[in-house]
Amino acid sequence: MAYGRKVFDLGSRLGRVVDSRRAPRTSAGLVAATVFYAGLLRIRSFNALEPRLAEQPFLRLLGAAPERERLCSVDTVGRCLCGMDLDSVRAILVGMLQKAERNKVFREGWHGALRYVAIDGWEPFCSRHRHCPECLVRRVKIKAKNGKTIGVRLEYYHRYAVALLIDERFDLVVDFEPLLPKDLRPPTTKGKGPTARLVKVCLDEGEQTAATRLIKRVRQTFGWIDVVVADALYANGPFLTTLDSLGLGAVIVAHKETDEPLREALHLWADEAPHKIVEDTNAHETIALWDCRDLETLSSYEGKIRCVRGCVTRLKHSGEPPSTWCMLVTGKPTRLAPEKVLAVARARWHIENTAFHQWTTRWRLGHVFRHHPDALRSLFWLFLAAFDLLTLFQYLQLRSYGRDCGKNVTRTISRLIDQMLDELACWQRLAWDTS
């Protein structure tokens, strides 16, 4: 609490959140603080939150005690979330990261002194019953026990493109953007000149469209980010061109051996021995690397692309075939050694392992607290701000604590939360500066 307040000015950041209710008895700032702490302390549902709203330790945490005996109902919390101003609630997380940057947390960068964000699609939940105007829809086959299809049902879901800052030490969320359903997509222009007309889009948005919007905003907000790391979905000319135009470098995993420029690189490497062999004694791995610069065979991209292939053999698993990775590299990371390019591409798994897995198993982000497009986003912004604050706290302040608890990051964080919950009940007075 003291860390959040002193270093990141958390109290006033939460206090600046606004919503659309008129003259509310409980301000949007207090509701934002309630949801933030519900996220931080991993309170599993609004039902579980309800009794806490009348408990003094929780009210002290919010800065609402002793004036209030009870904050409000969880219905009020839900209603406020629906009308919360998204820019004002996003500003908490953005403001914290910008403060961390000013405090030189990211100054050294990672490989090649660069700052990397991984982007990927995230689907927190799906439902066959409840839906809202921003739900995406898909048809799923219903199967009998014998595996035969016995019908088709509609499934509603939300999907977001997420940007995560990846680093040797910590992974922090920087931004996310929802994929829009067809009804909410702006019309596009068809034809040219006098015959040009606006037409309605008839498909739900793809991940790359949302990710492009996301990455433009990330670039605008966090000018110090250098490189985007992404999976094979993004291994195409238009996306690389977008990153180029934004001044961002790219490390993109490539899978399709028939697609340029990987096809050309594989052709050139066909009979060549590895260009470099790296023995990683810490990870018990041998890595064979092939490298090819200045490929120009991708017609939808104007610049030069570097291709790197790494074959990783795990020494402790002698019977296992080596795993192969191919990467397309443009911009600043082209100066990295090939083994560093591979390390960056492999770190992309952080986004699935650390972030998405932890968010649904530990942070309750898969639980639908309130099914409403803006309420979902507001809640994610608050929960993810709590996730970032806790991550920064753990790695910058509690380094030895992490070591004491072993190497399992998720378990260390869970243990920390348990201790915070235990201590919450003991606090008699909390010096909470709301100025």
The nearest distance, CB 175 to Zn ion, in angstroms, is: 20
Q: Which is closer to Zn ion, CB of 135 or CB of 384? A: 135
Query: Which CB, 207 or 374, lies closer to Zn ion?
Result: 374
Say which residue the tokens 């995993």 belong to: 253
* 142 touches 153 (CB < 8 A): yes
Nearer to Zn ion, 369 or 393 (CB): 369
Beta bridge partners of 363: none
Nearer to Zn ion, 30 or 179 (CB): 179
Stretch that binds Zn ion, among 31-39, 135-143, 253-261, 417-425 (CB under 5 A): 135-143
CB 202 within 8 A of CB 89: no
Answer yes or no whether residue 81 interacts with Zn ion by CB under 5 A.
no
Decide if residue 228 touches Zn ion (CB under 5 A).
Answer: no
The answer to whether residues 355 and 172 touch, using CB atoms and an 8 Å cutoff, is: no
Closest approach, Cβ 413 to Zn ion, in A, equals 29
Helix axes 86-102, 373-396, angle to 10 degrees: 20
Q: Which CB sits closer to Zn ion, 42 or 159?
A: 159
3-state helix, strand, coil in the chain (%, to 5): 45, 20, 35
Is 135 or 252 the residue whose CB approaches Zn ion more closely? 135
Beta pairing class for 116-122 and 227-230? parallel
Distance CA 419, CA 404 (A): 14
Residue 247 CB, shortest distance to Zn ion, in Å, is 35
Q: How far is the CB of 184 from Zn ion (least distance, A)?
A: 11
27-35, 128-136, 179-187, 390-398 -> range binding Zn ion (CB under 5 A): 128-136
Show Cβ contacts of residue 391 under 8 Å, excluding neighbours closer than 6 positions. Answer: 170, 171, 172
Token code pair at residue 326: 């191919």
Smallest distance from Zn ion to CB 138, Å: 13
| 135 scored as a contact of Zn ion (CB under 5 A) | yes
If residue 139 lies in a helix (H) or strand (E), which one and from where to where? Answer: strand 136-143
Candidate segments 46-54, 98-106, 126-134, 202-210, binder of Zn ion by CB under 5 A: 126-134
Nearest to 224 by CA among 174, 265, 187: 174
Contact (CB, 8 A) for 38 and 58: no
Where does this chain touch Zn ion (CB under 5 A) — which range of 84-92, 132-140, 165-173, 245-253? 132-140
Residue 115 DSSP SS3: coil
Could you say whether residue 132 binds Zn ion (CB under 5 A)?
Answer: yes
Whether the bond into 261 is cis, omega within 30 of 0: yes
Place of tokens 């219905």: 75
Q: Least separation, in Å, of the C-beta of 383 and Zn ion?
A: 17
Q: How far is the CB of 368 from Zn ion (least distance, A)?
A: 8
Which residue number, 118 or 376, has a Cβ lying nearer to Zn ion? 376
> Binding marks (x or -) toward Zn ion, 359..388, rule CB under 5 A?
------------------------------
Q: Which is nearer to Zn ion, 135 or 336 (CB)?
A: 135
Q: Pick the stretch among 57-65, 115-123, 133-141, 211-219 that binds Zn ion (CB under 5 A).
A: 133-141
3-state secondary structure of 114: coil
Residue numbers at the binding site for Zn ion (CB under 5 A): 132, 135
